[in-house]
Amino acid sequence: MSTTTLEPSIETHVHYLNVSYGIKSWLLTTDHKRIGLLYLASITLMFFVGGSAAVLMRLHLIEPQGGLVEPETYNKLFTMHGIIMVFFFLIPSIPATLGNFLVPMMLGARDLAFPRLNLMSWYLYMIGAIFTLSAIAAGGVDTGWTLYPPYSSAYSHTHVIMAALGIFIAGFSSILTGFNFIVTIHKMRAPGLTWFRLPLFIWAHYATSVIQILGTPVVAVTIALLALERLFHIGLFDPNVGGDPILFQHLFWFYSHPAVYIMILPGMGVMSELITCFSRKRVFGYSFIAFSSVAIAVLSFLVWGHHMFVTGQSVYAGLVFSALSFMVAIPSAIKVFNWMATLYKGSISYDAPMLYALGFVGLFTMGGVTGLFLSSLAVDVHVHDTYFVIAHFHYIMVGGAVMAYLGGIHFWWPKITGRMYPDGWARFAALVIFVGFNLTFFPQYMLGYLGMPRRYAVYPAEFQVLNVMSSAGASILGIGYLIPLIYLTWSMRYGKVAGPNPWKAKGLEWTTPSPPPTENFEETPVVTEEAYNYSAVGEEA
């Protein structure tokens, strides 16, 4: 691209934001970029709803006997926090916002393969969200996000079916997104864009989509069966008539374990983009990272029993699941090593996206390693259903996935909006989030190891110090999340106008104007070079 003059204006070209105005042009759009923004707004809203539940919980847990809410209410809080964060924030987050926006652009395509299905997926998400929020408004659900019977099917007096319906519908939203990505990636790559020239963001979303289409239908039917059991008192999971609650857990975790990889793989894809750009280096071990994404997608389906070690599941099945769970850590570790090798002797710059990326690498590694503790059957007997598990998955989901999400949002923000965010505030917020996060969740490892159970509204007094630390951290973390909300919104109107490629990054999306026109590319690009073809600074040193 030719160098631009002092103040490039985004008003001089027609792009996807100003091509048409009015609510209908947004609600009936089939443009993948607008749909990405629709999702961005919805999931941001859901994030703060789920986050408020967390704030209330952490405030409550300042006192050992509970300071804020009744125990029944506490049960509802952790349930809604889990359901909203898992199904309505983490699962859609990167794929439905950044993925929708970027997958066609990174492939050199004009849109996804099925634009109308893409819009339908957003509507399904919204309908699912409305059902779930209605369940909250009507009084909540208290079964835990895992909805285990027989409590959820026979004993709970809360709005289980309403919430289950919301999750069921949102599941189809997820399936449609994955389905669209798979077909697009297979069939709509630009000329010259062979599989091994694809950005690793695409490989990550491909693997994620495979998990989405093969796993989500199982949880859908499982939730349907649960709803039928609750409605019609069938006895499917009722031990009194020979039903097996463990069967529910098998069917539930068959999806829900791979689901956690739906949540993290796209973040790993973002990592590959950020780390290469901000080290000005080609990624180390491209094919290893690509294949490891596929390996994770496959292996993730073979390990679900590690959530069920203490349920009465067969010991021998447990051993097999334990061994496989150790194996599934390997591809993730390969990625971390490759990213670190990419950083080595790179020309590192510490822009906000890179701060998030570096945070990810450290925190994801910590969370991942504690996953190995949990995979070990004998150790899991002691730490299952304690705060150790909570710390483990929050390190991965929040320290990992949410940091990757924020890093990606910041990285592609100029492309999406045509504006830059204020750099100082962004870096400050990244640091606040990092500090707040660690202060919130590191004490929870210790709490869990010392024996504090999860999902309890009260706890023994000797755990109070760690709990107060955790709650203090949570308040810092909450502030940290609010700061980007403010300055990113502000920047949409008042931010400095960004050119097509403010980061000087590689990738087809950076060859378009910022914001891009509706059709993305005037002519379909032809790709002749490898991905991440940054000048090899320091490679020969």
Partner 1 sequence: MAGHVVPQKVYFVIFALLIGLTGLTTWVATLDMPSPWNTVVALAIAIFKASLVILFFMHVKYSSNLTRAAVVAGFFWLAILLVFTLSDILTRQWIPQSTGWTTTIESPH
Partner 2 sequence: MAEHQAQSAVMDPLAHQFDDLQQQHEASNFGMWIFLATEVMFFGGMFAGYTIYRHEYFTAFAAGSHLLNWKFGATNTAVLICSSLTMALAVHAAQTGKRKALVTFLILTILLGMAFLGIKFTFEWSRDWNENLIPGELIAGHPFAPQGEILKQLQEAHAGLPQVELFMFFYFALTGFHALHMVVGIGLLTVLTVMAWQGRFSPERFNPVEGSGLYWHFVDIVWIFLFPLLYLIGGIS
Cβ 143 to partner 1 shortest distance, Å: 22
Percentages helix, strand, coil for the chain, rounded to the nearest 5? 70, 0, 30
Partner in contact with 279, chosen from partner 1, partner 2, none, beta carbon below 5 to 8 Å by kind: none
Cβ 450 to partner 2 shortest distance, Å: 38
Partner in contact with 128, chosen from partner 2, partner 1, none, beta carbon below 5 to 8 Å by kind: none
Spatial neighbors of 274 by CB under 8 A, at least 6 apart, are 353, 354, 356, 357, 407, 408, 411
Cβ 225 to partner 2 shortest distance, Å: 7
How deeply is 40 buried, as exposed, middle or buried, from its count of CB atoms within 10 A (0-12, 13-18, 19+)? Answer: buried
Spatial neighbors of 126 by CB under 8 A, at least 6 apart, are 42
Partner in contact with 317, chosen from partner 2, partner 1, none, beta carbon below 5 to 8 Å by kind: partner 1
Q: Which of 324, 336, 326 is nearest to 363 (CA)?
A: 336
Separation between Cα atoms, residue 370 and residue 392, nearest integer Å: 6
**Segment near partner 1 (CB under 8 A); pick from 104-112, 309-317, 340-348, 403-411:** 309-317
Q: Are 231 and 149 in contact (CB under 8 A)?
A: no
Cβ 120 to partner 2 shortest distance, Å: 13
Q: Which of 96, 118, 97, 230 is nearest to 163 (CA)?
A: 230
Cβ 218 to partner 1 shortest distance, Å: 7
Partner in contact with 315, chosen from partner 1, partner 2, none, beta carbon below 5 to 8 Å by kind: partner 1
Name the residue nearer to partner 2 (CB basis): 63 or 244. Answer: 244
Cβ 183 to partner 2 shortest distance, Å: 5
313 forms part of the interface with partner 1 (CB under 8 A) = yes
Partner in contact with 516, chosen from partner 2, partner 1, none, beta carbon below 5 to 8 Å by kind: none
Separation between Cα atoms, residue 288 and residue 292, nearest integer Å: 6
Partner in contact with 179, chosen from partner 1, partner 2, none, beta carbon below 5 to 8 Å by kind: partner 2
Angle, helices 32-60/403-417, rounded to nearest 10 degrees: 140
Partner in contact with 113, chosen from partner 2, partner 1, none, beta carbon below 5 to 8 Å by kind: partner 2
Separation between Cα atoms, residue 220 and residue 226, nearest integer Å: 10
Partner in contact with 233, chosen from partner 2, partner 1, none, beta carbon below 5 to 8 Å by kind: partner 2
Going residue by residue from 163 to 202, which x/- string records binding to partner 1, judged by CB under 8 A?
Answer: -----------------------x----------------
Q: What does the block give as tokens for 295?
A: 């390996």
Partner in contact with 312, chosen from partner 1, partner 2, none, beta carbon below 5 to 8 Å by kind: partner 1
Name the residue nearer to partner 1 (CB basis): 210 or 358. Answer: 210
Name the residue nearer to partner 2 (CB basis): 301 or 441. Answer: 301
Q: What is the residue type of 100? A: N
Residue among 310, 317, 461, 479 that touches partner 1 (CB under 8 A): 317
Cβ 530 to partner 1 shortest distance, Å: 24
Name the residue nearer to partner 2 (CB basis): 241 or 310. Answer: 241
What is the footprint of partner 1 within residues 263-302 (CB under 8 A)?
301-302
User: DSSP labels for 420-472?
Assistant: PPPHHHHHHHHHHHHHHHHHHHHHHHHHHHHTPBSS-S---GGGHHHHHHHHH
Name the residue nearer to partner 1 (CB basis): 218 or 366. Answer: 218
Q: Are 208 and 260 in contact (CB under 8 A)?
A: no
Partner in contact with 342, chosen from partner 2, partner 1, none, beta carbon below 5 to 8 Å by kind: none
Separation between Cα atoms, residue 7 and residue 496, nearest integer Å: 9
Cβ 254 to partner 1 shortest distance, Å: 6
**Residue-wise over 46-81: b if at least 16 C-beta within 10 A, else e?**
bbbbbbebbbbbbebbebeebebbeeebbbbbbbbb
State how far the alpha carbon of 87 is from the alpha carbons of 40, 212, 217, in Å. Answer: 15, 12, 14
What is the footprint of partner 1 within residues 218-257 (CB under 8 A)?
218, 246-247, 250-251, 254
Residues that contact partner 1, how many (by CB under 8 A): 21
Separation between Cα atoms, residue 164 and residue 222, nearest integer Å: 10
User: DSSP labels for 34-51?
Assistant: HHHHHHHHHHHHHHHHHH
Name the residue nearer to partner 2 (CB basis): 182 or 363. Answer: 182
Long-range Cβ pairs for the range 462-465 (8 Å, 24+): 463/64, 464/62, 464/63, 464/64
**Residue-wise over 116-126: b if at least 16 C-beta within 10 A, else e?**
ebbbbbbebbb
Binding residues vs partner 2 (CB under 8 A): 104, 109-115, 175, 179, 182-184, 186-188, 213-218, 220-222, 225, 228-229, 231-236, 241-244, 247, 250-251, 254, 519, 524
Residues of this chain that bind partner 1 (CB under 8 A): 186, 210, 214, 218, 246-247, 250-251, 254, 301-302, 304-305, 312-317, 320-321
